[in-house]
C-alpha cells in the first residue's frame, strides 16, 4: 500500500516538474525495485532542469545508461539515442560543474549540442561520452582543442 502511495507521489512530482521530489520519491521506489530503468531515467534527466539536484541526478543517470546499454527499455524517452544522449549530457554536465568550481568553464561553452540532438540524434550521445571521458588538463588541447574539434565536425557536416 505504501508503494502505491509513493508511486502516486512520484508521478505527481513528474507532472508538476518538482525535480527534488522526483529524486526523493524515486529513491524510495528504487529501494523496492532497484531494476526500474524508467524511474532511473526520470531521476537522471532531472539534473538537466535543476542544478541543485545535478549530483544526485548524475548518479542515477550513470545507472540508467548502463541498464539501457544492457538492453533494458528506455521509456519514457522516445528513442534510445535520445535517452542515452540526455543521460550522458547529465553526467557530463555534472563533471563540468565540478570543473567550473576550479576555474575551468569550458564545459558550458562546449555543450551546445542539445539543439542538434533532434537534427542528428547521435550527436548529443557522442558529445556526452567524449566529455565524460575527459579530465581537466588532458593533452587533448583543453577548450581550444574542443573548439577545433567542433569546427572540424561542422565543416565535415557542411561538406557531407
pTM score: 0.61
3-state secondary structure the chain: CHHHHHHHHHHHHHHCCCHHHHHHHHHHHHHHCCCCHHHHHHHHHHHHHCHHHHHHHHHHHHHHHHHHHCCCCCCCCCCHHHHHHHHHHHHHHHHHHHHHCCCCCHHHHHCCCHHHHCCCHHHHHHHHHHHHHCCCCCCCCHHHHHHHHHHHHHHHHHHC
Range of the domain at 115: 2-159
For residue 70, what is the domain's CATH number? 1.25.40
Task: Identify the pLDDT of residue 113.
Answer: 43
Task: Identify the pLDDT of residue 76.
Answer: 87
Task: Identify the pLDDT of residue 135.
Answer: 44
List of the chain residues with pLDDT < 50: 1, 100-115, 117, 135-140, 160
Domains contained in the chain, number: 1
Task: Identify the pLDDT of residue 79.
Answer: 86
Task: Identify the pLDDT of residue 139.
Answer: 44
Task: Identify the pLDDT of residue 110.
Answer: 40
Amino acid at each position: 500500500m505504501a508503494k502505491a502511495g509513493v508511486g502516486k507521489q512520484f508521478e505527481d512530482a513528474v507532472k508538476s516538474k518538482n525535480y527534488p521530489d522526483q529524486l526523493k520519491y524515486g529513491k524510495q521506489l528504487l529501494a523496492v525495485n532497484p531494476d526500474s530503468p524508467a524511474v532511473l531515467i526520470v531521476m537522471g534527466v532531472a539534473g538537466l532542469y535543476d542544478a541543485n539536484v545535478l549530483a544526485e541526478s548524475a548518479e542515477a543517470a550513470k545507472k540508467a545508461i548502463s541498464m539501457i546499454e544492457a538492453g533494458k527499455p528506455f521509456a519514457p524517452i522516445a528513442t534510445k539515442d535520445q535517452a542515452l544522449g540526455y543521460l550522458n549530457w547529465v553526467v557530463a554536465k555534472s563533471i563540468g560543474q565540478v570543473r567550473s568550481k576550479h576555474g575551468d568553464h569550458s564545459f558550458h561553452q562546449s555543450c551546445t549540442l542539445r539543439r542538434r540532438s533532434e537534427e542528428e540524434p547521435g550527436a548529443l550521445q557522442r558529445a556526452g561520452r567524449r566529455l565524460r571521458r575527459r579530465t581537466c588538463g588532458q593533452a587533448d588541447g583543453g577548450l581550444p582543442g574542443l573548439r577545433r574539434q567542433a569546427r572540424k565536425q561542422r565543416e565535415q557536416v557542411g561538406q557531407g
